[in-house]
Structure 1
């Protein structure tokens, strides 16, 4: 009787382990999504700026400039450990040997060329909402930037967060393609939603997180603790940001607030990237932020 019970328990354990292995498997994009026209580097430069790639992937203390060297190395502290931005320049140490499809899968699905999960420090939960053609354009632009042979630094993560397979469970709970602010929006707010929610991934910093690091979308853009431990990232819903659309757009272009203060810290890098967008795109982001439901 005992042997039979033990055998049944072992079988259930194996079944549960097998089910968990299947459910947490990396899921790349379908082939039909990856197929499409070649990327346009000029359009990709605008996607690159909106997505803020250089702000994370240039070396610490390096300038972004017009042709940034995406050598990586910048540290990002979190409650789960410290992540280090990788080299994504077009070199053998970066993504120079990757196919376009491999880069798009990494950005939109968090799946490496070897089929492993990337940690969501790469904001693929936001990029999952992007248009695949925009991602192909982004890849075309990346391939025109200067190469760097800087080696990647491994993340400093304690157990169990060092087990990448567990990221598959996080994806099951948090990877969505629907808009957070759903429904029809008037132009230019609809364009602003695409930039803010998909490309610029504003929610990654400005939205509080649950215990496993997923965004609390019920408090979308309502502010969050700074992962570095210094201060708090502000509430940018209408309940916390009473600037006009013109004020917001001007801030995204110049970094100057209506109170004659200036953007600092990581936001200064974001503004440097946003300033490369068209005035219409910055106005669209401002219109979107004014349409976000207020959260006290």
Structure 2
């Protein structure tokens, strides 16, 4: 399975912060925002990743992430000239996806919860159809909303409905089989000129190949596309890390635990970041392993 991080858009909800920088490079506490979606793909055992962004930001991402070898993954880059919608990622990434299935995550979505890794691994192994997630919210009118039965079978999908049929929003994380490319290419732009992810998901619903995975109590899903969203995400990550002593979205730790990088590689990065708490954390990972 391949992975795509969509880090496009103009970030207008965060002006003037994003007048000169991609919002996905803004820090969420101790690491760039882009680390968080990358960590989700890595936890899904996805090692070939395409990052889609605006042309003027490709160099910035390349400076930060390179080709991904630092974490034992492969990162490539493509551009989205204009914000043509989430589903446009599959048209742009057609050659990258090839004959594989694909996971798409939005660059400004943060997920956290116990047992998340097994859920991701299960979704990544689904060979036929699509897997989307459902998360309970108080304001479903602001999201794409999924209605499903007691067996978690999808019944209906609506985009920002005035009268929602449920309180379950669809987060920006999707697993699709390879037919997603053909489906995306057949979509007609919406009234706002975009290829809507909701329309794409509806195609799977019509084929009875749409599967819903509930993210229940204990899971956190944070959208960092607003000022308050940024502040809340930073407060959340800082609080969890300070109380538990465990880092969220530490790419080096994930890669090390999965044996994608060596101990020497982890030590090298720890030394590079030695003046930070992040570097100290990496060094402590090695120390704890030595004790064992």
Q: TM-score, normalised on structure 1?
A: 0.27
Larger relative contact order, structure 1 or 2 (CA cutoff 8 Å, min sep 6)? 2
Q: TM-score, normalised on structure 2?
A: 0.27
Which of the pair has more CA radius of gyration?
1
Bigger fraction of residues in strand? 2
